[in-house]
Structure 1
Amino acid sequence: MTVVYLRLWDNMSRPPSKRRKTAGSSKAGQSREMESGRVAELPVNMVEAMQSCITAAIPDIAKAVLNSISQENPANATASTNSLPPPVANASTVQASVAEPAFQDLTGTSSYARVFSRISSHGQGHDSHSTRSCAHLEDTVRHLLNSALSTSSAASYRHIFQLYSSFVQEHFGREHTVLPPNVQHLCMFISHCYQTGLAFATVTTYTSALSYIFKLDNFDDVTQHFVIKKVLQGYHKLRHSADTRLPITPTILSKLVDSLDTVASSYFHRVLFKAMFLLAFHAFLRVGEITSTGSTNQHTLKRGHVKVVSSTSGKSLEIIFPHFKHHHGQSSTHVVSAHLQQPHHCPVTAVQTYLELRKHEREDQPLFSFMDGSAISRNIFTNQLKLSLKWAGLDLQHYKSHSFRIGAATTAAMRGIPESDIQTMGRWKSEAFKKYIRILLISI
């Protein structure tokens, strides 16, 4: 097995042969290959990490490699370990034509027009005249492509590409280009993520973002390469981390609200976080919808998005979500009813009290903010939640800010609300909401 693995990696890191060798030049070519050597040596610990990732998937790799060798040379299948299969092109060593990424807002460079120069029409050559005649449509094409990603997703993809670019230049040298993508570069990047202790879900997000950029620039999507898939499979087997977050139930929610009388630093903070806790639960809110999480806060609720409505049946809150995660251009409206039987823990009363105290000056101000207008950051909200959880004697490792949303879905399911209604109330676009229903985990 060791021999198979080393030969596979040797094959991936070998520069491609682009010149036909004659009998007279064969010996000289071999001499030049020995002088040029392979790609730069990699840190031993990184290789070991990659090997540990791939060990879990090595039977599948060995089987595929041996099948490939036997298909190419059936007569010598039994002696396949004595001869190397044809080398795979190593994009990092091709210096003749270095393609640039297509979109500046994802990769930091601008060469939009080159996308069309690399696109062929069902095997036919690119028609330069059609590009010139349709130049007035290119702005629309650019706009449509850029609109495919939300602002937050584009920012995340840009950050991931910068991390990947920095890694390649640091470990392989600045002479190695990030694009066209390279299987060896990506393998080592994944092993680096494994060494630094990143969760498998995080690495999956990284490879998804890189895949999007590779395909957008009309390069081969090396994230779908067999070896990459098996490295990720090994990663998942060795570092599979279950979601241990527990739901905040109505009983726990009441304790958190009661804790504010002790742990809140002022009357305003007590009113503010009481409204945030109760609304986060009853409106199935994501933490990014009530706090400021960074430079792109497009999903954060504004003052104008929440309205107190009075009717013959009592008061309620009408919350408009003009955009949210995976909204795809569609808005959503959520109604939170008053809890007359528990006035101290009523979300409508709590939010109304906060709004009367806060007195927002503009409709576009963040819904939850300090008196000076600055938004409540995610860190501030998380720290306050930790104080309340500690006061209630709950495990800080299992209760997080997302536990409000998990608890809302779990409580709704326990009350017999249909799954389709739970999906709508939580603004889920897929069946991912089922992972939030954790009835068997409830112990309080």
Structure 2
Amino acid sequence: MSTRRVATRSMAVRAPPAAAAPPAPPTRSMAARASPAAAAPPAPPATPAPAPGFSPGQMATLQALIATSVQAAVRAVAPAASGQAESTRRPSRPAAPANTADPRVQVEESFPTADPLPSTGANGGCFASAMPLPDRAALGLEADALVAGSVSERSARTFSTGIDAFNDYCVKHIVNPLAPSKEDIVLFATELSRTRCVATVRVYLSAVRYHLLCKRVPVTCMQSVRLSAVLKGLERRQGPATTTRRGLTGQDLADLQHFLLRSNYSESDRAMIWASVLTAFHGLLRASEFLAPHATRVDSTRTLTWQQISVQASSAVVRLRVTKTAQLGDGGQVQLRETRDDFCPVRALTAYLDLAGQREATEPVFVFASGRFLTREELTKILRLALRTNEVSSHSMRIGGASLMAQRGASEWQVKRAGRWRSSACERYVRQAAGMPSL
């Protein structure tokens, strides 16, 4: 018993004392008194321990396997197989010569050409419909050509004047012509109104919109309530147009015939001018449907050629290709019938054909003996000299023909169909005119 008690007592003596309580953290006053140099340096970032069960070498192998699987998944959803994807890459440019004299070439060639990246959808993934950059560039050029061809050749020429005016405005007021604001467009329209009518201002604004579309610039600057209000105010301030074009009457045709007989034109030129006027008068032709746009240049899609005219004993047929209301071709046929008077279009065309002789099928019909083509400017000049008034133009034959049909009892629908109108614009052309010749 004594031996067991002694052993127990010795074990108790050798046992370690209980763990002491941790020291209290320093108070705020102690922290304030601590020197910055005595502060302990920040501990280095702990190295992440390897996942349990994997050694560092095994982790590297696992990461390589995951990367390989991701690359295989991306290739599976690519636009084509890996072999096709290689073929769609941009060809690498040849390296610059070692001793080239132009340092810009060396700088440019120092950057490698990157492969086209696939498009990313809303969910952040790669779509199989990703389009290579060369295809997108080709589609962009094709879209540019379609936008440029969305207006007729005559409208494009008219727009060029408006675009030049807008560029002059931008230079004058230090405005970027490819990034105008809504207020810039408003001020441009206001400046135009000082020297031009509201109709011309609208045409110039359409020209600016067309120009921005061709340059792939958003046209939101053309859409503002303030611009609409400015145009409305211009209409109220300027009032309606004071000059109106009037149609040819029977007396006008007689005066023109007398003027041609006394003029210095050759016999073939007199016959050509007379046939053009009567053809447009009875056929209700627009100037662009039978006249050339330039004295030395023709519009192959609009200018009237010999292959479009067929003259019979008592009638003639004019086949139109492209018209204002049929921009894609097949403008219809115009029937001309014998009137048995001094203003018969069939007899005028027959007389001109006899004097013109054999012509090429693709050659314009109305050509002077000198080889110059009859244009709207030349025909307007002849009409104003013959009738001694500025109220007539190359459009007066169309107005006069519509007025004659209405005077002879034709309904508005018949006049609209004969003139190939799609809107109610013919209502302002149906004007009663005294002295018109009988059909």
TM-score, normalised with respect to structure 2? 0.62
User: Whole-Å Cα distance in 2 between the matches of residues 368 and 384 of structure 1?
Assistant: 14
> Per-residue deviation at 1:406?
0.8
| 1:291 match | 291
Among candidates 403, 409, 412, match of residue 416 of structure 1: 409
Match of 1:318, SS state, is strand
Residues 319 and 334 in structure 1, CA contact (< 8 A), matched pair in contact too = yes
| 1:7 match | none
User: Whole-Å Cα distance in 2 between the matches of residues 212 and 139 of structure 1?
Assistant: 16
| 1:165 match | 167
Please list the CA deviations of residues 178-201 of structure 1 after superposition, one character each: whole Å capped at 9, or x if unmatched.
1222233223322332222x2221
Change (3 A) 1:411 1:398: same
Residues 245 and 403 in structure 1, CA contact (< 8 A), matched pair in contact too = yes
Match of 2:312, SS state, is strand
Residues 182 and 223 in structure 2, CA contact (< 8 A), matched pair in contact too = no
Tell me which structure has the larger Cα radius of gyration. Answer: 2
| 1:129 match | 130
Residues 337 and 348 in structure 1, CA contact (< 8 A), matched pair in contact too = yes
> Per-residue deviation at 1:360?
4.5
Residues 338 and 347 in structure 2, CA contact (< 8 A), matched pair in contact too = yes
| 1:355 match | 353
User: Whole-Å Cα distance in 2 between the matches of residues 220 and 382 of structure 1?
Assistant: 37
Give matches, 1:354-433, under 5 Å: 354-390=352-388, 396-433=389-426
> Per-residue deviation at 1:442?
5.7
| 1:156 match | 158
Change (3 A) 1:238 1:121: farther
Gaps of 5+ in 1: 1-119, 391-395
Query: 2:297 aligned with 1:304, yes or no?
Result: no
Residues 259 and 386 in structure 2, CA contact (< 8 A), matched pair in contact too = yes
The percentage of counterpart residues that share the same residue type is 25
Residues 151 and 296 in structure 1, CA contact (< 8 A), matched pair in contact too = no
| 2:428 match | 435
TM-score, normalised with respect to structure 1? 0.62
| 1:393 match | none
User: Whole-Å Cα distance in 1 between the matches of residues 298 and 126 of structure 2?
Assistant: 38
Please list the CA deviations of residues 191-239 of structure 1 after superposition, one character each: whole Å capped at 9, or x if unmatched.
332222x222111111123234445635143333122111111211122
Gaps of 5+ in 2: 1-119
- Which residue identity is paired with 2:188? F
User: Whole-Å Cα distance in 2 between the matches of residues 126 and 192 of structure 1?
Assistant: 51
Change (3 A) 1:274 1:147: same
How many residues align? The count is 308
Give matches, 1:12-27, under 5 Å: none
Q: RMSD of the alignment, in Å?
A: 3.2
- Which residue identity is paired with 2:286? R
Match of 2:218, SS state, is coil
- Which residue identity is paired with 1:409? A
**Greater RCO, 1 or 2 (C-alpha within 8 Å, sep 6+):** 1
Residues 303 and 365 in structure 1, CA contact (< 8 A), matched pair in contact too = yes
User: Whole-Å Cα distance in 1 between the matches of residues 232 and 255 of structure 2?
Assistant: 42
> Per-residue deviation at 1:415?
1.9
User: Whole-Å Cα distance in 2 between the matches of residues 358 and 431 of structure 1?
Assistant: 39
Match of 1:345, SS state, is coil
| 2:333 match | 333
Match of 1:333, SS state, is strand
Residues 181 and 220 in structure 1, CA contact (< 8 A), matched pair in contact too = no
User: Whole-Å Cα distance in 1 between the matches of residues 249 and 125 of structure 2?
Assistant: 62
User: Whole-Å Cα distance in 2 between the matches of residues 287 and 385 of structure 1?
Assistant: 13
| 2:188 match | 189
User: Whole-Å Cα distance in 2 between the matches of residues 387 and 419 of structure 1?
Assistant: 32
Match of 1:324, SS state, is coil
Change (3 A) 1:397 1:168: same
User: Whole-Å Cα distance in 1 between the matches of residues 224 and 176 of structure 2?
Assistant: 19
Change (3 A) 1:143 1:379: closer
User: Whole-Å Cα distance in 2 between the matches of residues 361 and 142 of structure 1?
Assistant: 38
Residues 380 and 392 in structure 2, CA contact (< 8 A), matched pair in contact too = no
Residues 318 and 333 in structure 2, CA contact (< 8 A), matched pair in contact too = yes
- Which sits farther off after the overlay, 212-221 or 126-135? 126-135
User: Whole-Å Cα distance in 2 between the matches of residues 380 and 150 of structure 1?
Assistant: 21
Match of 1:339, SS state, is coil
